[in-house]
Amino acid sequence: MKKLTYIITLVLFVSFQILNAQRAPRLSSPDVNSKNDVTFRYYAPNAKEVLLSTEILEEQLAMTKDENGIWSATIKKVTPDIYPYSYKVDGIEVADPNNTYVFANERFKRSIVDIPGNKPLVYSLRDVAHGKVTYRYYDSETLNTTRRLLVYTPPGFDRQDKTKKYPVLYLIHGGSDTEETWTKVGKANLIADNLIADGKAVPMLIIMPYGNVRPSPMPDFTKDVMNDIIPFIESNYPVHTNSENRAIAGFSVGGGQILNIGLTNTDKFSYIFSFAPYTATQEFAQNFTNWNPDAKKINEQLKLFTISIGKDDFLYESVQGNLAMFKEKKINVEPIFVSGGHTWMNCKLYLTQSLQRVFK
């Protein structure tokens, strides 16, 4: 029996090696060293050209092929952050097969690489108490379907006295992102964990719904948030239900959505954080073209209203127009200008800044 077991083991081992040989080889990619150099590798023995497309560099890098058909490229001394990247293999965009971490998105399949650096950053996995991220279904009467949302609950949430209640931030992703993008790319849960651990943010719930509505028009998402999502959260979690304990934030298309949602419901939200908003939508035009707001009342209702934008963001000029419009209507809005473009690197920064100022 011992010999039989040995033979079976050997045959199996060989079978598995053959199976593996039919696949591309397992490569270590991306590899990050202690100097923050990152090396990308991709197996394509028959490709004529492989380019590396990243949000680290503006230009694409030509990768070079070794004798085993493995293409590689190294970028040195990268500023620690989490960057999207992909390979262009003879013009075809592919995610890195050896990297587990895929950018959560409906339109493209890219990978993300974390350059950790030598000291923990605000989104690093640190040895602090961790909150939980829970995937839930809710019934949307507005959209006549069951949709998903993610709920971040802070450390200690379950052990709290049930009389303890939390404030809630509603956080919306960009236009082709999904309900997972704020955690998987934006690290919203780890940012919250770290800021809470350091006493820089108050414990709160963060609700990350799926914001895309197709083929229905955009305003349906506003209704979905107001009539379905908020009631679902407030009936299922121990949360405060006054406007001082409700905030809304969003990026890009989501940044435009939350201007619509927040500014037409200033009795429901005391905090509005718009990150690089895309506002060229019918809903925005309908809400704000002939807008005649009671600015005094709105300014009293809103404890904080910010619009954040990177100097290199393609929406920079558009945001200047938004700011001018709100100024003309005498709405108090704080512009926050940072460097960088329309990226999820900036999203982490925008969220970090907002979490330190909300509910205070």
Q: Is 95 in the site for a second copy (CB under 8 A)?
A: yes
Phi, psi of 74 (to 5 degrees): -125, 135
Q: Which residues pair with 250 in a beta bridge?
A: 172, 274
Q: Are 244 and 202 in contact (CB under 8 A)?
A: no
Amino acid at 235: S
Amino acid at 63: M
CA 308 – CA 273 distance, rounded (Å): 8
Q: Which of 358, 164, 185 is nearest to 269 (CA)?
A: 358
The stretch among 53-61, 115-123, 223-231, 285-293 that binds a second copy (CB under 8 A) is 285-293
Burial of 245 (0-12, 13-18, 19+ CB in 10 A): buried
Q: How would DSSP label each residue in 309-349?
A: EETT-TTHHHHHHHHHHHHHTT---EEEEESS-SSHHHHHH
* Nearest distance in Å: CB 285, a second copy: 6
Q: Which residues pair with 92 in a beta bridge?
A: 89
Q: Is 106 in the site for a second copy (CB under 8 A)?
A: yes
Q: Is 29 in the site for a second copy (CB under 8 A)?
A: no
- Assign 272 to helix, strand or coil: strand
CA trace torsion 250, 255, 261, 266 (10° rounding): 80
Instruction: Supply 242's token pair.
Output: 């006054």
Amino acid at 131: G
Q: Is 163 in the site for a second copy (CB under 8 A)?
A: no
Q: Are 38 and 64 in contact (CB under 8 A)?
A: no
* Nearest distance in Å: CB 87, a second copy: 9
Q: Are 262 and 358 in contact (CB under 8 A)?
A: no
Q: Is 146 in the site for a second copy (CB under 8 A)?
A: yes
| Site map (CB under 8 A) of a second copy, residues 301-340, x = contact | -------------xx--x--x---x--x------------
Q: Is 134 in the site for a second copy (CB under 8 A)?
A: yes
Q: Is 137 in the site for a second copy (CB under 8 A)?
A: yes
Q: Are 24 and 71 in contact (CB under 8 A)?
A: no
Q: Is 15 in the site for a second copy (CB under 8 A)?
A: yes
Phi, psi of 46 (to 5 degrees): -100, 0
CA 206 – CA 60 distance, rounded (Å): 36
Binders of a second copy in range 221-250 (CB under 8 A): 236
The stretch among 9-17, 71-79, 222-230, 261-269 that binds a second copy (CB under 8 A) is 9-17
Q: Is 296 in the site for a second copy (CB under 8 A)?
A: no
* Nearest distance in Å: CB 59, a second copy: 15
* Nearest distance in Å: CB 109, a second copy: 5
Q: Are 83 and 101 in contact (CB under 8 A)?
A: no
From 57, 62, 92, 295, residue interacting with a second copy (rule: CB under 8 A): 92
Q: Is 292 in the site for a second copy (CB under 8 A)?
A: no
Q: Is 136 in the site for a second copy (CB under 8 A)?
A: yes
The stretch among 105-113, 266-274, 297-305, 352-360 that binds a second copy (CB under 8 A) is 105-113
Q: Which is nearer to a second copy, 43 or 269 (CB)?
A: 43
* Nearest distance in Å: CB 1, a second copy: 6
| Site map (CB under 8 A) of a second copy, residues 165-184, x = contact | -------------x----x-
Q: Which residues make up the interface to a second copy (CB under 8 A)?
A: 1-2, 4-6, 8-10, 12-13, 15-16, 19, 23-24, 26, 44, 46-47, 89-98, 100, 102, 104-109, 125, 127, 130, 132-137, 146, 158, 178, 183, 236, 278-280, 284-285, 288-290, 314-315, 318, 321, 325, 328
